[in-house]
Amino acid sequence: MSKVLVVLETAGGKIRSHCLPGITAGKQIADARGAELHLLVLGANAAAEGAEIAAAGYGAAGVHTITDAALEPFTAEAWGDAVVHAVKTLSPAVVGGTASSALRDCLPRAAAVLDAALCAEIVAVKSGDTFTRPISAGRALLDEQLSGDLVFFTARGSEFAPAEAGAATTAAVIDGASVDVRGAQVLGISKTESSRPALTEASVVVSGGRGMREGANFSHLEQLTDLLGGALGASRAATDAGMVPADLQVGQTGKIVAPNLYIAVAISGAIQHLAGMKGSKTIVAINKDEEAPIFQVADYGLVAKWEDAVPALIAALEARKG
Protein backbone atom coordinates (compact mmCIF):
# COMPACT_ATOMS: atom_id res chain seq x y z
CA MET A 1 0.00 0.00 0.00
CA SER A 2 1.28 3.47 -0.86
CA LYS A 3 2.19 5.95 1.87
CA VAL A 4 1.57 9.61 2.66
CA LEU A 5 4.39 10.92 4.84
CA VAL A 6 3.82 13.98 7.05
CA VAL A 7 6.87 15.74 8.51
CA LEU A 8 6.48 16.94 12.10
CA GLU A 9 8.24 19.48 14.31
CA THR A 10 8.74 19.09 18.04
CA ALA A 11 9.56 21.36 20.96
CA GLY A 12 10.28 20.35 24.52
CA GLY A 13 9.94 16.71 23.56
CA LYS A 14 6.38 17.11 22.27
CA ILE A 15 4.74 17.65 18.90
CA ARG A 16 4.21 21.32 18.10
CA SER A 17 0.52 22.10 17.96
CA HIS A 18 0.75 23.85 14.59
CA CYS A 19 1.71 20.48 13.04
CA LEU A 20 -1.67 18.91 13.83
CA PRO A 21 -3.55 20.49 10.88
CA GLY A 22 -0.83 19.18 8.58
CA ILE A 23 -1.56 15.67 9.84
CA THR A 24 -5.25 16.20 9.05
CA ALA A 25 -4.40 17.29 5.50
CA GLY A 26 -2.15 14.28 5.09
CA LYS A 27 -4.90 11.96 6.35
CA GLN A 28 -7.37 13.42 3.85
CA ILE A 29 -4.89 12.83 1.02
CA ALA A 30 -4.20 9.29 2.26
CA ASP A 31 -7.91 8.50 2.40
CA ALA A 32 -8.43 9.89 -1.11
CA ARG A 33 -5.61 7.71 -2.42
CA GLY A 34 -6.43 4.62 -0.38
CA ALA A 35 -2.98 5.00 1.17
CA GLU A 36 -1.51 4.76 4.67
CA LEU A 37 -0.64 7.83 6.72
CA HIS A 38 2.88 7.86 8.17
CA LEU A 39 4.60 10.49 10.32
CA LEU A 40 8.26 11.58 10.32
CA VAL A 41 10.03 13.07 13.35
CA LEU A 42 13.44 14.72 12.98
CA GLY A 43 15.76 16.01 15.70
CA ALA A 44 18.58 15.39 18.11
CA ASN A 45 16.32 13.26 20.32
CA ALA A 46 13.85 12.10 17.68
CA ALA A 47 13.59 8.47 18.84
CA ALA A 48 12.18 9.43 22.25
CA GLU A 49 9.93 12.09 20.78
CA GLY A 50 8.72 9.70 18.09
CA ALA A 51 7.80 7.10 20.69
CA GLU A 52 5.62 9.63 22.51
CA ILE A 53 3.95 10.71 19.27
CA ALA A 54 3.39 7.06 18.32
CA ALA A 55 1.57 6.56 21.64
CA ALA A 56 -0.93 9.23 20.54
CA GLY A 57 -1.22 7.72 17.07
CA TYR A 58 -3.07 10.58 15.33
CA GLY A 59 -4.53 8.07 12.87
CA ALA A 60 -1.13 7.10 11.46
CA ALA A 61 -0.04 3.59 10.50
CA GLY A 62 3.48 4.30 11.73
CA VAL A 63 5.91 6.91 13.04
CA HIS A 64 9.48 7.11 11.71
CA THR A 65 12.40 8.95 13.27
CA ILE A 66 15.80 10.24 12.18
CA THR A 67 18.12 11.28 15.00
CA ASP A 68 21.13 13.49 14.36
CA ALA A 69 22.64 16.31 16.41
CA ALA A 70 22.95 18.37 13.20
CA LEU A 71 19.14 18.55 12.97
CA GLU A 72 19.02 20.94 15.93
CA PRO A 73 18.81 23.83 15.78
CA PHE A 74 16.86 23.78 12.55
CA THR A 75 18.57 24.44 9.25
CA ALA A 76 16.85 23.88 5.92
CA GLU A 77 20.00 22.20 4.59
CA ALA A 78 20.12 19.47 7.25
CA TRP A 79 16.36 18.90 7.35
CA GLY A 80 16.22 18.74 3.56
CA ASP A 81 18.84 15.97 3.61
CA ALA A 82 16.90 14.07 6.28
CA VAL A 83 13.61 14.28 4.34
CA VAL A 84 15.34 13.07 1.15
CA HIS A 85 16.81 10.10 3.04
CA ALA A 86 13.42 9.25 4.57
CA VAL A 87 11.77 9.35 1.13
CA LYS A 88 14.41 7.06 -0.37
CA THR A 89 13.99 4.66 2.56
CA LEU A 90 10.19 4.62 2.84
CA SER A 91 9.17 5.32 -0.80
CA PRO A 92 6.06 7.40 -0.04
CA ALA A 93 3.87 8.73 -2.84
CA VAL A 94 3.16 12.04 -1.06
CA VAL A 95 5.23 14.06 1.42
CA GLY A 96 4.14 17.21 3.26
CA GLY A 97 3.13 18.96 6.43
CA THR A 98 1.86 22.22 7.84
CA ALA A 99 3.11 25.33 6.03
CA SER A 100 5.28 26.50 8.93
CA SER A 101 8.37 28.63 8.40
CA ALA A 102 10.55 25.52 8.80
CA LEU A 103 8.71 23.25 6.37
CA ARG A 104 8.25 26.07 3.85
CA ASP A 105 12.03 26.15 3.78
CA CYS A 106 13.08 22.50 3.80
CA LEU A 107 10.35 20.71 1.83
CA PRO A 108 10.89 22.65 -1.43
CA ARG A 109 14.60 21.79 -1.17
CA ALA A 110 13.83 18.11 -0.77
CA ALA A 111 11.32 18.23 -3.63
CA ALA A 112 13.89 19.86 -5.90
CA VAL A 113 16.54 17.24 -5.09
CA LEU A 114 14.02 14.47 -5.81
CA ASP A 115 12.67 16.21 -8.94
CA ALA A 116 9.14 16.14 -7.49
CA ALA A 117 6.25 18.58 -7.87
CA LEU A 118 5.13 20.64 -4.87
CA CYS A 119 1.82 22.37 -4.15
CA ALA A 120 2.27 25.04 -1.48
CA GLU A 121 -0.21 26.43 1.04
CA ILE A 122 -3.08 24.11 0.14
CA VAL A 123 -6.42 24.95 1.72
CA ALA A 124 -8.44 21.92 0.56
CA VAL A 125 -7.95 18.39 -0.75
CA LYS A 126 -10.04 17.77 -3.87
CA SER A 127 -8.64 14.30 -4.64
CA GLY A 128 -5.51 12.29 -4.10
CA ASP A 129 -3.57 14.40 -6.60
CA THR A 130 -5.58 17.63 -6.81
CA PHE A 131 -5.36 20.36 -4.18
CA THR A 132 -6.79 23.87 -3.81
CA ARG A 133 -4.46 26.76 -3.03
CA PRO A 134 -4.88 30.55 -2.97
CA ILE A 135 -3.29 32.67 -5.68
CA SER A 136 -2.95 36.41 -6.32
CA ALA A 137 -2.70 37.23 -2.59
CA GLY A 138 -5.86 35.26 -1.85
CA ARG A 139 -8.02 36.96 -4.49
CA ALA A 140 -8.72 33.60 -6.14
CA LEU A 141 -8.44 29.86 -5.53
CA LEU A 142 -6.73 27.46 -7.92
CA ASP A 143 -7.29 23.71 -8.17
CA GLU A 144 -3.88 22.28 -8.98
CA GLN A 145 -3.35 18.69 -10.14
CA LEU A 146 0.12 17.22 -9.57
CA SER A 147 1.58 14.39 -11.60
CA GLY A 148 4.43 12.01 -10.92
CA ASP A 149 5.26 9.09 -8.66
CA LEU A 150 6.15 11.50 -5.83
CA VAL A 151 4.54 14.83 -4.94
CA PHE A 152 4.97 17.28 -2.06
CA PHE A 153 2.56 19.65 -0.32
CA THR A 154 2.39 22.17 2.48
CA ALA A 155 -0.98 22.81 4.12
CA ARG A 156 -2.23 26.10 5.51
CA GLY A 157 -2.81 25.38 9.19
CA SER A 158 -5.78 27.72 9.50
CA GLU A 159 -7.79 25.71 6.95
CA PHE A 160 -7.58 22.21 8.45
CA ALA A 161 -8.80 21.02 11.84
CA PRO A 162 -6.08 19.85 14.26
CA ALA A 163 -5.61 16.08 14.24
CA GLU A 164 -6.73 14.34 17.41
CA ALA A 165 -4.94 11.59 19.28
CA GLY A 166 -6.17 8.08 18.59
CA ALA A 167 -5.01 4.49 18.83
CA ALA A 168 -1.30 4.00 19.45
CA THR A 169 0.92 3.00 16.54
CA THR A 170 4.48 1.78 16.13
CA ALA A 171 7.67 3.85 16.07
CA ALA A 172 10.65 2.87 13.93
CA VAL A 173 14.14 4.34 13.58
CA ILE A 174 15.52 5.19 10.13
CA ASP A 175 19.27 4.66 10.13
CA GLY A 176 21.97 5.72 7.71
CA ALA A 177 20.99 9.34 7.18
CA SER A 178 23.79 11.69 6.24
CA VAL A 179 22.87 15.31 6.93
CA ASP A 180 25.02 18.31 6.14
CA VAL A 181 24.43 21.92 7.16
CA ARG A 182 26.71 23.01 4.28
CA GLY A 183 28.45 25.66 6.32
CA ALA A 184 25.28 27.22 7.70
CA GLN A 185 25.55 28.36 11.31
CA VAL A 186 22.81 29.32 13.73
CA LEU A 187 24.44 32.02 15.83
CA GLY A 188 21.50 32.48 18.17
CA ILE A 189 17.78 32.09 18.63
CA SER A 190 15.71 34.92 20.07
CA LYS A 191 12.42 33.89 21.58
CA THR A 192 9.61 36.25 22.50
CA GLU A 193 8.36 35.33 25.95
CA SER A 194 4.67 36.01 26.42
CA SER A 195 1.85 34.82 28.64
CA ARG A 196 -0.51 35.24 25.67
CA PRO A 197 -1.32 32.34 23.34
CA ALA A 198 0.63 31.98 20.11
CA LEU A 199 -0.70 34.18 17.33
CA THR A 200 -1.50 31.25 15.03
CA GLU A 201 -3.23 29.28 17.80
CA ALA A 202 -5.28 31.98 19.57
CA SER A 203 -9.08 31.97 19.40
CA VAL A 204 -9.07 35.79 19.61
CA VAL A 205 -6.65 38.12 17.80
CA VAL A 206 -6.50 41.90 18.17
CA SER A 207 -4.39 43.60 15.49
CA GLY A 208 -3.31 47.19 15.01
CA GLY A 209 -2.25 49.00 11.87
CA ARG A 210 -0.51 52.11 10.64
CA GLY A 211 -3.23 54.26 12.18
CA MET A 212 -1.95 53.43 15.67
CA ARG A 213 0.84 55.91 14.79
CA GLU A 214 3.44 54.75 17.35
CA GLY A 215 4.41 51.69 19.34
CA ALA A 216 3.37 53.16 22.68
CA ASN A 217 -0.23 53.25 21.51
CA PHE A 218 -0.26 49.46 21.17
CA SER A 219 -0.49 49.34 24.98
CA HIS A 220 -4.21 50.05 24.54
CA LEU A 221 -4.53 47.05 22.23
CA GLU A 222 -2.53 44.91 24.67
CA GLN A 223 -5.03 45.77 27.40
CA LEU A 224 -7.93 44.83 25.13
CA THR A 225 -6.15 41.65 24.07
CA ASP A 226 -5.59 40.53 27.65
CA LEU A 227 -9.21 41.19 28.61
CA LEU A 228 -10.26 38.90 25.75
CA GLY A 229 -7.61 36.28 26.49
CA GLY A 230 -6.24 36.63 22.97
CA ALA A 231 -3.07 37.30 21.02
CA LEU A 232 -1.74 40.60 19.70
CA GLY A 233 -1.14 41.07 15.97
CA ALA A 234 -0.27 43.87 13.57
CA SER A 235 -0.28 44.81 9.91
CA ARG A 236 2.93 44.91 7.91
CA ALA A 237 2.81 48.70 7.88
CA ALA A 238 2.94 48.72 11.69
CA THR A 239 5.77 46.21 11.93
CA ASP A 240 7.78 47.88 9.13
CA ALA A 241 7.44 51.17 11.02
CA GLY A 242 8.96 49.51 14.08
CA MET A 243 5.86 49.94 16.24
CA VAL A 244 5.88 46.26 17.24
CA PRO A 245 8.14 43.24 16.55
CA ALA A 246 7.99 41.63 13.12
CA ASP A 247 6.81 38.29 14.54
CA LEU A 248 3.41 39.91 15.21
CA GLN A 249 2.76 40.54 11.52
CA VAL A 250 -0.44 39.08 10.09
CA GLY A 251 -0.72 38.88 6.32
CA GLN A 252 0.56 37.39 3.11
CA THR A 253 4.18 37.80 4.17
CA GLY A 254 3.46 37.24 7.87
CA LYS A 255 1.38 34.78 9.83
CA ILE A 256 -1.88 33.28 8.57
CA VAL A 257 -4.55 33.25 11.29
CA ALA A 258 -8.17 32.15 11.47
CA PRO A 259 -9.40 32.81 15.03
CA ASN A 260 -12.99 32.79 16.18
CA LEU A 261 -12.74 36.58 16.62
CA TYR A 262 -10.42 38.97 14.76
CA ILE A 263 -10.48 42.64 15.74
CA ALA A 264 -8.74 44.94 13.25
CA VAL A 265 -7.97 48.37 14.70
CA ALA A 266 -6.76 51.22 12.46
CA ILE A 267 -6.01 48.76 9.66
CA SER A 268 -7.01 49.85 6.17
CA GLY A 269 -7.38 46.32 4.83
CA ALA A 270 -4.88 45.99 1.99
CA ILE A 271 -5.22 42.71 0.10
CA GLN A 272 -1.90 41.51 1.54
CA HIS A 273 -3.28 41.82 5.08
CA LEU A 274 -6.63 40.28 4.18
CA ALA A 275 -4.80 37.23 2.82
CA GLY A 276 -3.63 36.49 6.36
CA MET A 277 -6.89 36.87 8.29
CA LYS A 278 -9.99 36.72 6.11
CA GLY A 279 -10.59 33.12 7.16
CA SER A 280 -11.45 34.33 10.67
CA LYS A 281 -14.89 33.26 11.88
CA THR A 282 -15.96 36.78 12.96
CA ILE A 283 -14.18 39.97 11.89
CA VAL A 284 -14.64 43.29 13.68
CA ALA A 285 -13.16 46.42 12.11
CA ILE A 286 -12.56 49.78 13.78
CA ASN A 287 -11.41 52.53 11.42
CA LYS A 288 -12.10 56.24 11.08
CA ASP A 289 -12.24 55.96 7.27
CA GLU A 290 -15.65 54.65 6.24
CA GLU A 291 -14.23 53.77 2.80
CA ALA A 292 -11.49 51.52 4.22
CA PRO A 293 -11.39 48.15 2.39
CA ILE A 294 -11.39 46.28 5.72
CA PHE A 295 -15.13 46.99 6.02
CA GLN A 296 -15.79 44.89 2.92
CA VAL A 297 -14.78 41.70 4.76
CA ALA A 298 -15.86 42.71 8.28
CA ASP A 299 -18.90 41.14 9.94
CA TYR A 300 -19.13 44.17 12.22
CA GLY A 301 -17.68 47.59 11.45
CA LEU A 302 -17.34 50.72 13.55
CA VAL A 303 -16.43 54.01 11.87
CA ALA A 304 -14.60 55.79 14.68
CA LYS A 305 -11.17 56.86 15.86
CA TRP A 306 -9.43 54.12 17.78
CA GLU A 307 -8.67 56.66 20.53
CA ASP A 308 -12.41 56.81 21.24
CA ALA A 309 -13.50 53.28 20.41
CA VAL A 310 -10.83 51.14 22.10
CA PRO A 311 -11.01 52.78 25.57
CA ALA A 312 -14.81 52.55 25.43
CA LEU A 313 -14.60 48.86 24.50
CA ILE A 314 -12.11 48.21 27.30
CA ALA A 315 -14.39 49.95 29.81
CA ALA A 316 -17.38 47.92 28.65
CA LEU A 317 -15.48 44.65 28.97
CA GLU A 318 -14.16 45.55 32.41
CA ALA A 319 -17.67 46.44 33.56
CA ARG A 320 -19.04 43.16 32.20
CA LYS A 321 -16.30 41.14 33.86
CA GLY A 322 -16.70 43.07 37.08
Which residues fall in the annotated binding site for FAD? 210, 235-236, 249-253, 287
Q: Note whether 78 and 186 are within 8 A (CB).
A: no
Compute the 3-state secondary structure of the chain and give helix, strand, coil in percent, each to the nearest 5.
35, 25, 40
Q: Which residues are annotated as a binding site?
A: 210, 235-236, 249-253, 287
Q: Note whether 49 and 188 are within 8 A (CB).
A: no
Contacts of 202 (CB under 8 A, 6+ apart): 196, 230, 231, 257, 259
d(CA 52, CA 14): 8
Cβ-count burial of 68 within 10 angstroms (0-12 exposed, 13-18 middle, 19+ buried)? middle
- DSSP SS3 for 149: coil
3-state secondary structure 80-146: HHHHHHHHHHHCCCEEEEECCHHHHHHHHHHHHHCCCEEEEEECEECCCCEEEEEECCCCEEEEEEC
